[in-house]
Structure 1
């Protein structure tokens, strides 16, 4: 695993980071909704 990112790997990592943020925010949103209904 290389530390420096190749230009070809940059869009992939950006997409992966965006997907992780969306997954985390939706997970947090579900926790908030479930806490409201409990």
Structure 2
């Protein structure tokens, strides 16, 4: 999982969903798990 300052580009990828867990913003992509990321 990558840690990024901005998740805007990853939100646009097909299959992406933005999730909030434990106060963190995560991007999870079932189609392409290499785009899994956390903000901050």
TM-score > 0.5 by shorter chain: no
Looking at secondary structure, tell me which structure has more helix per residue.
Answer: 1
TM-score, normalisation: structure 2:
0.19
